[in-house]
Amino acid sequence: MISYRIANRIESNRESFGVESAPAIVFLKEHGVKPVVYHGPANNSWFVDIMEQNKHQELPQLRSVTSMELGCHARGYSRAGNVTAIWYCVILSGRSSPELNKMRATLRRIQEALSAVDNDQPSSSAAVALKEKRLTFTWLDGEAQQRYCFFHTQTENSYETCGPRRDITDIPQLIIVRYKRNATKDSNKIEEKKPKNILEAFLNDDVDPASQLVARYNGSEESSEVWPSICCEMDFTTWFNY
């Protein structure tokens, strides 16, 4: 009886993960993303290759330790390199909830659609920025990274997005941050002038290499509405509340 139950459980897991036969390697991604399955025996080099291909989530998680790598930090650089002057980071913040999962799925669809635009087709600014690694889509765990979440949201209803759950209300928030390299700061680095005193040294260190301009999305969760908002934001014609 025990063997029968184990066999049924194994068969059920195989079907849910999309495994057709053994041996197989399965990569479980984030919520709502179909598992990636590789069938057949693996050698060392092939295994290293597929690990490299699948080391990131479809929608990477933004944390304080990953912000530099993802190009979502004013003291860092774009994923395109340190010569890029302007780049963008889309940040979805919220606690684990059906609402957050729905918005994450919406961002994944937008990211996939932008990635699928052919080079010979007219492209939106967002599609071009994504292909040039000047645009990154991310999500932020508002409960686990509450200080980081409050830093990015800074609204009246931030407690419905960040920190421990206080009631049944969970409201994910979506923002775009535009980073622009500070040319003056870069030129000062090249000159490497020695500060005259401690105060000057402190003020120099306190200046971020890039300025930040934040745009907040207040519309529907549907991708048909989020898409044009993101694309238009790249040209700075919508989203901003001055």
Indicate which CATH number applies to the domain containing 130: 3.40.30.10
Q: How confident is the model at residue 185 (pLDDT cuts 50, 70, 90)?
A: low
Residues 74 and 168 in one domain: yes
* Closest listed residue to residue 90, CA positions, set 219, 193, 230, 224: 230
Helix, coil or strand: residue 33: coil
pLDDT of residue 94: 92
pLDDT over 50 (residue 241): no
What distance in Å separates the CA atoms of residue 48 and residue 51, rounded to the nearest whole number? 5
pLDDT of residue 140: 92
Residues 92 and 204 in one domain: yes
pLDDT of residue 5: 46
Range of the domain at 34: 2-53
Helix, coil or strand: residue 158: helix
What distance in Å separates the CA atoms of residue 6 and residue 24, rounded to the nearest whole number? 19
pLDDT of residue 209: 80
Residue 212: CB atoms within 10 Å: 13
Residues 97 and 185 in one domain: yes
Residues 104 and 207 in one domain: yes
Q: Number of folded domains in the chain?
A: 2
Mean pLDDT score, 42-57: 78
> What pTM, to 2 d.p., does this model score?
0.70
Mean pLDDT score, 210-214: 85
Mean pLDDT score, 187-211: 57
Residues 78 and 171 in one domain: yes
* Token pair of 19 as six digits: 């495994």
Residues 18 and 79 in one domain: no
pLDDT over 50 (residue 202): no
- Specify which of 1-5, 14-18, 67-71, 219-223 reaches the highest per-range mean pLDDT: 67-71
What distance in Å separates the CA atoms of residue 91 and residue 141, rounded to the nearest whole number? 10
pLDDT of residue 223: 60
pLDDT over 60 (residue 147): yes
Q: Which of 17-21, 72-76, 145-149, 186-190 has the lowest mean pLDDT?
A: 186-190
pLDDT over 60 (residue 197): no
pLDDT over 80 (residue 74): yes
> Does 240 reside within a domain?
no
Residues 74 and 17 in one domain: no
pLDDT of residue 49: 83
What distance in Å separates the CA atoms of residue 55 and residue 48, rounded to the nearest whole number? 10
Mean pLDDT score, 184-197: 53
Mean pLDDT score, 18-28: 78
Per cent of the chain over pLDDT 90 is 12
pLDDT over 70 (residue 50): yes
| Sign for the pseudo-dihedral over CA of 40, 37, 63, 213 | positive
> Does 242 reside within a domain?
no
pLDDT of residue 45: 84
Q: How confident is the model at residue 53 (pLDDT cuts 50, 70, 90)?
A: confident
Q: Cβ distance 119 to 127 under 8 Å?
A: no
> Does 176 reside within a domain?
yes
- Specify which of 48-57, 180-189, 219-228 reaches the highest per-range mean pLDDT: 48-57
